[in-house]
Structure 1
């Protein structure tokens, strides 16, 4: 009974401390530092934390290294006549206007998809006409061939040459907040819309997407929330903390085991309390959310980079950040640090006979 009451009291105290931490403006860095410091003090083993991690994030390539060229179709008189037949001259005039020449990547995509859809309809009408004009059909087919081949390029530019995507890979934003605020869900939903657009364009006879009428909405959401930048910072903070804590646990065991007789010691029970309250109670829920939301963000980008013609610079960036096959990528270093941290704790607690009945780790 006494132990149960003590456990309840400790849980209430922990909840109160976490609530107070949230009220005084503390964030992920303070939470992770508190956890590592408590492990360090209990082990009498130095565990240094370094949260100045922005400079260690890979640099997102410059826009010129993220953009791909589109064929500039200079229309001669005969071709203009062909496009007049397809009711495309007003679209061309819009593209060649002073505003059209400085279109944002998203608006360039709108133009390319509408142009291609109308050209496709014209091509179908010409092909099914009782007496098609072979020269006119040949001209339309030639233009259609170029535009359809380059649609993935237009989508790539719309996604990765945009300023909105650039800020989602900035090194200057803070980490994800301790409590969810809806920004991750909004950003993920917006990226899913763009990913669906890329998947739609893979179809041989795709319908004109309704998203084109409100194309700026997902971009505005991405610009406003900047989940990607926050996630990168959180991932690196977790990686550093988990890896250094794991090394501290192993260093103490090599120097002098916490439980030399394979039985719980007072320090071991204190350490278990740190694990239960400060890792399982605070760090792990944050880690699980960073892992869950970040996995979805990563998967969407990997899908886009697989479906679309990524530039060489972006392929290199993918390798540095997302690649599961690269042990030095930001993602894989986090996975390795998380697993190292888990195994280090298991080794100590198993030796002390204090292994919890349920292990708290995120899924791979």
Structure 2
């Protein structure tokens, strides 16, 4: 078999361009530093000075959405002749376009869009029809059905569209310290929340379906929500494990009263070099993002039929278990140990 990259001949012949590209990509992906790598280095350095094994990192648990319950199918349909009589209405063109797409797989977002546009077009069309006619009653019944279940179609979109359901899925990537897409993600999430609020208030004419697809495009472009939640959960777990590890250290033994201790000074230097210089600013950055985005997550997902209890727990606004409060409290608990350390060891933290 002929291979494009034959490693046995690397010393004899130049490496083909495509092999060089593959090697470069592998090197870049393998050497790409994530914020959690800094934290692992920080804890490993502390453990080395303390002559202990660093704590093992436990994998994060997958967060899952719940499949939406089935809804009853509409009973009223329009015949071909009835549809032909709606040629003067925008609704007629909308239904015809939808019928032409039958057999094709419709996305949850396009299905939701159709329900909204049907509702929006029906009001104008009904004004042109005899209120005692069969076609009038059929359209009125279909409109009432779609209004009643529009929130279901919205939640189905949250459940099925990758740009939305991947928000809660684990990923190997983390949000970088120079992350792009925050402003666009905030705008997209604000759009989705506004649409949901219009549904709840039955303000169907105010729903902008074009803005919906623009929002989904921005979410797909950056995956910011997924990376933010992954990164916050990772930093919380690292804070908790590091704090648990340090609480096992007897500070009084480490710093006997009245005696200088070189190891304690080295620990202080490690804390300042890694935690204060890099980790704490990064966690403050995540906190800032969550302070604006978590309320929007709560609006969309909290206590919804598609949300599992672990997701509800992370979004419960008043509970200490919510993601933002966990990040803040885990960071505070970690710093508290160091405050005790500096006081006991009589070391200037500056």
- With normalisation by structure 2, the TM-score equals 0.75
> Secondary structure of 2:249's match?
helix
Distance 1:191 1:32, change over 3 A: same
- Following the alignment from structure 1 to structure 2, what is the Cα–Cα distance between the partners of residues 78 and 216? 31
- 1:180-210 per-position Cα deviation (integer Å, ceiling 9, x unaligned): 2313443333222212221233334443444
The question of 1:283 aligning with 2:285 is answered no
CA contact (8 A) 1:80 1:89 kept: no
Distance 1:60 1:232, change over 3 A: same
- Following the alignment from structure 1 to structure 2, what is the Cα–Cα distance between the partners of residues 120 and 262? 84
Where does 1:177-192 land on structure 2 (aligned, <5 Å)? 177=176, 179-192=177-190
Point out the more displaced range, 27-36 or 81-90: 81-90
- Following the alignment from structure 2 to structure 1, what is the Cα–Cα distance between the partners of residues 260 and 204? 66
- Following the alignment from structure 2 to structure 1, what is the Cα–Cα distance between the partners of residues 324 and 340? 25
- With normalisation by structure 1, the TM-score equals 0.72
Where does 1:246-325 land on structure 2 (aligned, <5 Å)? 246-253=243-250, 256-261=252-257, 265-306=261-302, 309-311=304-306, 314-319=307-312, 321-323=314-316
CA contact (8 A) 1:249 1:344 kept: yes
CA contact (8 A) 1:155 1:198 kept: yes
Where does 1:109-188 land on structure 2 (aligned, <5 Å)? 109-122=112-125, 125=127, 133=132, 139-177=138-176, 179-188=177-186
Structure 2 spans left out of the alignment, 5+ residues: 1-30
Corresponding residue for residue 40 of structure 1: 47
Corresponding residue for residue 35 of structure 2: 28
Number of aligned residue pairs: give it: 319
Deviation at residue 39 of structure 1 after TM alignment? 2.3
> Secondary structure of 1:252's match?
coil
Distance 1:136 1:97, change over 3 A: closer
> Secondary structure of 2:38's match?
helix
> Secondary structure of 1:180's match?
coil
CA contact (8 A) 1:86 1:122 kept: yes
Corresponding residue for residue 338 of structure 2: 345
Where does 1:43-58 land on structure 2 (aligned, <5 Å)? 43-50=50-57, 53=59, 56-58=60-62
Distance 1:291 1:283, change over 3 A: same
CA contact (8 A) 1:35 1:279 kept: yes
- Following the alignment from structure 2 to structure 1, what is the Cα–Cα distance between the partners of residues 313 and 233? 13
CA contact (8 A) 2:65 2:159 kept: no
- Following the alignment from structure 1 to structure 2, what is the Cα–Cα distance between the partners of residues 196 and 167? 21
Deviation at residue 303 of structure 1 after TM alignment? 0.4
Point out the more displaced range, 81-90 or 289-298: 81-90
The question of 1:234 aligning with 2:241 is answered no
Q: What is the aligned-residue RMSD (CA, Å)?
A: 3.7
Structure 1 spans left out of the alignment, 5+ residues: 1-23, 358-364
The question of 1:224 aligning with 2:218 is answered no
> Secondary structure of 1:261's match?
coil
CA contact (8 A) 2:76 2:142 kept: no
CA contact (8 A) 1:245 1:341 kept: yes
Which of 199, 202, 217 lines up with 1:201 in the alignment?
Answer: 199
Corresponding residue for residue 26 of structure 2: none
CA contact (8 A) 1:323 1:329 kept: yes
- Following the alignment from structure 2 to structure 1, what is the Cα–Cα distance between the partners of residues 100 and 137? 28
Point out the more displaced range, 146-155 or 224-233: 224-233
- 1:88-144 per-position Cα deviation (integer Å, ceiling 9, x unaligned): 222222222235752211111221111101223445x47xx9x95487765554333
Q: Which has the higher contact order (CA 8 A, sep 6+)?
A: 1
Corresponding residue for residue 60 of structure 1: 64
